[in-house]
């Protein structure tokens, strides 16, 4: 049995401390500590991280850092960076941080020159995308490629989709990207609509080249292409991100156009690997290098900064503080940038697939809640959808606000007061302020509000948030944001004692789906399923598909 963090003196001290400050509100905390608004903040690269609007005191932060030390966070952080096999259930190193190491860095793991291997792939990616963007790479008819379609799922899709949208202003090579992930045929059909096969290139992203959804979509895409251009066109219109050369070749893809990655890269940590090929095709190798440099900047901060001045450490610990001591189960991610519309969806996989575990790394059951539930929408859309619950609901929902001083696009406002970006950001600042400090019944009554309406308008405040402000949404800043959350995931996983880098929970459902597929499609009536609910659902489905039930 592994050690139980909840039984440590550090955890017990935090539990007592929570009892002492649970009734304190943010109005009082700011009144008692006027400097907290500037002192409970950190600058990491281009990110200004304000964590002052959290229900923490300086004593809380000290106790949380004590907890991190009790869990052995510094040593475990060092083990990850050095290539120790910290993914114990799969006996693998966890080295997504190596994907963004500079060329002159040195790291050898299991006898392999990791940095050399990484940059060899990056160089091949760069050479390929240079040819694509310059028009040197041509399709089967001699026409220039103008659209790349990335076919992948999970980590092979969520990261590239998010980054492609976030960096749309850096698309400068005449190549655009579309993304197909869902095995629902509507996804592929919609993404192929309006495309010219002669100017379309498919990137098939599957490490093993056996992922059912990806190969199903890839096969359908190949059929779409060959019906228009013939079988010989495949080698000019398909490339692969995979390590399975045999299956890639069997599909018809030239293995010279296969870009690999390694077992020490988890799918949800892979957008900065060859999985990002579609991103590089759109923004170019130089901008992609800036993207990687942003990751590395935050990696170095996380690796070297003292825990008490370490942004990913503090934010991860604060997330755990709410999850385990206040009973808050979710965290809202609210980017005030429409270009980051897919950021919350990206973080859902990063955080929930990593830390949605009920056993510790040694196989013993956890004794406290794990895995924050991440969700969110861009501002100001969310304000007109779910902020009501954030402000006046009965559930505590800590929120991360992400904003930018300089817009990617801007237009004047209707009344000429500032610009639309100024209006957007005025909402950003106002929402964090109102969530924190609210409005009392006395303040509302003083405005002449009828007494029977006053209770409905009271804003209790004391709703916590982090504000992350950057000058502009650039490739580097996107990398910095992703790394900031990657390392929070690691921090929480270490405290909980879980393996944040496996995902066994997704496997059984896939196995069962394979077993059920012939049950749905066979001509003969199916055998009775093991439970009455599934059996009834299958028979109804078959009947509505015109098959014997």
Q: Which residues are catalytic?
A: 353, 384, 510
β-partners of residue 161 are none
Q: Residues 88, 487, 60, CA angle at the centre, nearest 5°?
A: 110
| Inter-residue contact 398 to 54 (CB < 8 Å) | yes
Residue for token digits 């109102």? Answer: 434
Q: What are phi and psi of 367, to 5 degrees?
A: -120, 15
Question: Could you tell me where the DSSP H helices lie in 460-506?
Answer: 475-496
The sign of the torsion formed by the CA atoms of 324, 327, 333, 336 equals negative
Instruction: Map residue 51 onto helix, strand or coil.
Output: coil
| Inter-residue contact 262 to 83 (CB < 8 Å) | no
| Inter-residue contact 80 to 494 (CB < 8 Å) | no
For residue 377, the 8-state DSSP code is: -
Instruction: Map residue 5 onto helix, strand or coil.
Output: helix
Cα separation, 130 vs 133, whole angstroms = 5
Closest listed residue to residue 340, CA positions, set 278, 422, 268, 401: 401
CA dist 458 → 395, 440, 446, 455, 495 (Å): 16, 6, 12, 5, 37
Residue for token digits 């001591």? Answer: 325
Beta strand pairing status for 147-151 and 176-180? parallel
Instruction: Map residue 469 onto helix, strand or coil.
Output: strand
HSE-up (13 A, CA, CB side) for residue 42: 19
Closest listed residue to residue 204, CA positions, set 262, 147, 248, 139: 248
CA dist 267 → 271, 346, 503 (Å): 8, 12, 10
β-partners of residue 148 are 177, 201
> What is the rounded (10 degree) CA torsion for 280, 286, 289, 290?
-110
Label residues 515-536 b or e (16+ Cβ within 10 Å = b): eeeebeeeeeebeeeeeeeeee
User: What tokens were used for 224?
Assistant: 């779409």
Q: Residues 187, 344, 341, CA angle at the centre, nearest 5°?
A: 65
């Amino acid at each position: 049995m592994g050690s139980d963090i909840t039984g440590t003196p550090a955890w017990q001290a935090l539990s007592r401390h929570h009892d002492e400050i649970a009734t304190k509100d943010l109005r009082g905390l700011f009144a008692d500590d006027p400097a907290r608004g500037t002192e409970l903040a950190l600058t990491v690269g281009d990110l200004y991280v304000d964590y002052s609007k959290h229900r923490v005191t300086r004593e809380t932060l000290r106790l949380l850092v004590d907890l991190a030390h009790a869990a052995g966070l510094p040593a475990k952080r060092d083990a990850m960076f050095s290539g120790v096999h910290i993914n114990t259930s799969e006996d693998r190193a966890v080295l997504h941080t190596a994907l963004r190491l500079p060329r002159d860095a040195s790291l050898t793991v299991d006898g392999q020159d990791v940095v050399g291997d990484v940059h060899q792939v990056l160089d091949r990616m760069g050479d390929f995308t240079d040819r694509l963007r310059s028009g040197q790479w041509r399709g089967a008819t001699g026409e220039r490629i103008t659209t790349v379609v990335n076919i992948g799922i999970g980590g092979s899709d969520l990261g590239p989709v998010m980054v492609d949208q976030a960096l749309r202003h850096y698309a400068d090579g005449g190549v655009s990207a579309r993304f197909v992930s869902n095995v629902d045929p509507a996804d592929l059909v919609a993404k192929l609509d309006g495309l010219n096969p002669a100017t379309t290139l498919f990137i098939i992203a599957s490490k093993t080249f056996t992922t059912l959804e990806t190969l199903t979509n890839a096969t359908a895409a190949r059929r779409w292409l060959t019906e228009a251009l013939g079988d010989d066109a495949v080698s000019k219109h398909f490339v692969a991100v995979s390590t399975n050369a045999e299956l890639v070749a069997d599909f018809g893809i030239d293995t010279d156009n296969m870009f690999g990655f390694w077992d020490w890269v988890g799918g949800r940590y892979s957008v900065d690997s060859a999985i990002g090929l579609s991103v590089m095709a759109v923004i170019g190798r130089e901008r992609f290098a800036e993207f990687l440099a942003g990751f590395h900047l935050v990696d170095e901060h996380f690796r070297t900064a003292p825990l008490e001045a370490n942004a990913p450490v503090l934010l991860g610990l604060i997330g755990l503080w709410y999850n385990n001591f206040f009973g808050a189960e979710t965290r809202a991610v609210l980017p005030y940038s429409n270009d980051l519309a897919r950021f919350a969806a990206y973080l859902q996989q990063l955080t929930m697939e990593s830390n949605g575990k009920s056993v510790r790394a040694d196989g013993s059951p956890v004794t406290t809640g794990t895995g924050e539930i991440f969700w969110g929408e861009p501002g100001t859309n969310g304000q007109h959808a779910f902020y009501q619950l954030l402000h006046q609901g009965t559930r505590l929902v800590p929120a991360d606000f992400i904003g930018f001083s300089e817009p990617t696009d801007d237009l004047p406002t209707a009344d000429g007061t500032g610009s639309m970006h100024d209006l957007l950001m005025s909402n950003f600042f106002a929402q964090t302020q109102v969530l924190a400090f609210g409005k009392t019944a006395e303040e509302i009554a003083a405005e002449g509000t009828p007494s029977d309406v006053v209770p409905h308008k009271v804003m209790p405040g004391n709703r916590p948030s982090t504000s992350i402000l950057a000058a502009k949404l650039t490739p580097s800043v996107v990398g910095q944001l992703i790394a900031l959350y990657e390392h929070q995931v690691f921090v929480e996983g270490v405290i909980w004692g879980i393996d944040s880098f496996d995902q066994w929970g997704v496997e059984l459902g896939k196995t069962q789906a394979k077993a059920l597929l012939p049950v749905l499609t066979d001509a003969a009536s199916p055998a009775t399923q093991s439970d009455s609910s599934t059996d009834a659902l299958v028979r109804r489905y078959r009947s509505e598909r015109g098959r014997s039930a």
